[in-house]
Chains A and B, each alone.
Chain A
Amino acid sequence: MNTEAMSLQDFRGKLREMSVDIPGRDLTDDDRVRRAKRAFAQKLNGHRAVDMDTCLQCGMCAEACHFYEATQDERYAPVYKFRPLRRFYRREMSPMRWFYRAFTRDITVADLKEWQHLVYDACTGCGRCDMICPMGIKISAAIRVMRHGLAGAGFVPSEMRIIRDEQRDKNTLFGVGAEQLKALVQKLGAEGINVPLDREQADVMLLTTAIEVLLFPDAFAATAKILNKAGADWTIRSDAFEAANVGIITGDDPTMILAIRRIVEKANAIGAKTVLMPESGHAYQTLRWEGANEMGERLSFDVISIAEFVAAEVEAGRLSLKTQSNGASVTYHDPCRLSRKGGVTQQPRDVLTALGLEVRETTSNQRENYCCGGGCGEFVLKSAADLRQKAFEIKKHEIDETGADAVVTGCSNCRVNLMIGADNSGWQTPVTSLVETVAANLAD
């Protein structure tokens, strides 16, 4: 395929352009602390309380964190990243708050400023620390509450604010809206790839992301080919195609709920039985696991990822693949929100095996997998560039150790991060996507 894509360099230029310090909300220090606490209070529940009350401060989580491993900076110990939340919990929400209040200090606006770096720049929410914790504490969930608190206090980094505002106010991301999607669909139509756009009724509603439209139109085209090949009754809606959710990334609830609602309402309107998530980890996690909870009611459709879809279709015999026999090997990079947090771990491996590829596992794989280094919107932050690159080096090292010919991943966000990292370090191993690999090997 030769669908015209934005070059990586152009995209990086676009990110650099975004990296301007736009003025945030004008809030007094007291206001910020008050709002942060209010946001914490909104999210604290029994689960978080048990977590906060169980932490032993053993520090093992640091050993799971790529940012700590890359820098040996003790501030990047995951346990430390939710310290203000724990402080707030202990002082104001915990059963023994009267006791703790006598011995601990209150959180301050200086804390919030400091933690902006720790929870936005130095955490991709990958949840690897959740897996090492001997107490089973969901550290990443606590850090997510931290982002929520900082968002409430107006401490979202400006790059993230720009894209959040864009999604909330214009329903576009990186300038990609209905027009851009329509243009792509048209172009694909000219290439003979039919994309049933804006159907009023369909069983399957496909979503995509701005990143795909901009950078990886081939992946979008591949998805369309697979759906067509499988004979699915599908559509993609130009008014609700964006799977990415900047609200959940920034910790901004209204934006998160707005973005979810746009999808859910449209899926309900067209009677979709399935909402098919593109290669985007956080998008899958958001709709699959948070959607119903944030909407307050069970979803009337199933949410499945394209990897699950392909695996199921192959198994059901509706999709047949050409099996390669050239001994090519790949390693699969697990997007944290798809595997560790989403449970989609085996399906992509089954698909790659079905393609006749040798799947070589990195030392840390599946639920213990290392993050690409730029998840959870981190890749837009200029201030995190160094950290991101260092974390990428760990991933790169593990991939190199496998000796695999290529890296396949199931998340366009991971993919762009790995490509930026490779670009920075002159790394040559090709990074590709699962759907593209599948689409290139569809049996006739």
Chain B
Amino acid sequence: MSSLDTIPVTTEVATGNVEPLLHEIRHALKRLAEGKEGTVIDLKRLPLAPGEEERIAATLGTGEVRADVDALGPTLIQETSYPGVWLITHKNADEVVVARFIEVTYIPELLRSQQADIDAGINRLENELKN
């Protein structure tokens, strides 16, 4: 794959979608702070130039919380340097990104333990104790 990099094609293009996205995040954060609902943004739905997704991630930076979730392949949940803004990257078992979201919320839903899993856990623990 490294040979691809030797092809002298450069793109210094900006689609102009990055800044509106950052504004959208700012508005979502304000709504959240006012006690309203959180927001999820699907990065795959935006036309972005090569490198722009990375630029967004770099602009948002990394914050205090980073969680690796292992469910149907790895998922990285990273709080950005702006508290309340989370970058969620779903990968499949082959480490290929299958979806990427920006979630503006206090805590991403996926981090919570799920009721069904808790119920299943109780069952398992009870079975463990029975044996």
- The answer to whether A and B touch in the complex, with CB atoms under 8 Å apart, is no
